[in-house]
Homo-oligomer: A and B are copies of this chain.
Amino acid sequence: MDFAPSQTDPAHTCQHPPVFDDAFFEQLIDLFRWRRDVRRFRTDPVPQALVEELVSMATLAPSVGNSQPWRFISVESRERRQKVIEDFNLCNAEALKTYEGERAARYARLKLSGLREAPIHLAVFCDMETLAGKRLGRLTMPETLSYSVVAAIQILWLAARARGLGLGWVSILHPDVLKKTLDVPAEWQFIAYLCLGYPQEEHEDPELVRSQWQARLAEPGRLLHR
């Protein structure tokens, strides 16, 4: 199968690439600016076909050696969601203990997930033993396999925002607990737990800026020269 020519090859050789004009570019900047990590969701349902479309778009992401190592699970069982929430609460309590004084008080006030409200929960994994890609590009940087999954999540995030959906990435979880809760193959590395739904509010400034946890910085956007 690996050596089969792409089904789409013949059609594409005579295709012309799309033109992305200034108007599109401006809208694209708007999309980047208004893509937020959302933790405040309306409970309105999200059509299953839309979720499937978004996951399908995510597979247009780049991957090292074209390995396509992303694996998506929609978490729907009430029991499994409850276990995820319990693990989040445990991890969040552990995290709180690492702060002191005013910083701890600030942390305690943050809303760090929309796990209870979000209608869609997606768990995203990286298949560390996929044969696709034949290890190309990974000999000196094996971490590029998981990076490929992060790229796919980013595409999904932007597509979701363009469809009016908010996405929140929850990383305050124990990967081993999550894998056990969702009963996934041992060789799947847990990358992200995503909450998806219609946001309660729209804003351009990040949640952690609004809550005065961490301001935007100018420095990291400065290009260094060597």
> Which residues in A have some Cβ–Cβ distance to B below 8 Å?
1-9, 12-13, 15-18, 20, 24-25, 27-35, 37, 51-52, 55-62, 64-77, 80, 91, 94-95, 98-99, 103, 107, 110, 112, 123, 127, 132-141, 143-144, 146-147, 150-151, 153-155, 157-159, 161-164, 169, 171-175, 182-183, 191-192, 202-206, 208-210, 212-217, 220-221, 223-226
Cα distance, A65 to B134, chains bound together (Å): 35
How many Å from the CB of A90 to the closest CB on chain B?
10
Contact among B65, B76, B157, B175 with A141 in the assembled complex (CB-CB below 8 Å): B175
- How many copies of this chain are found per oligomer? 2
Residues of B near A24 (CB, < 8 A) are: 24, 27, 162
Residues of B near A141 (CB, < 8 A) are: 171-173, 175
* Residue of B with least CB distance to A67: B214
* Residue of B with least CB distance to A91: B140
Cα distance, A63 to B108, chains bound together (Å): 20
* Residue of B with least CB distance to A121: B226
Interface contact A213-B20, CB-CB below 8 Å: no
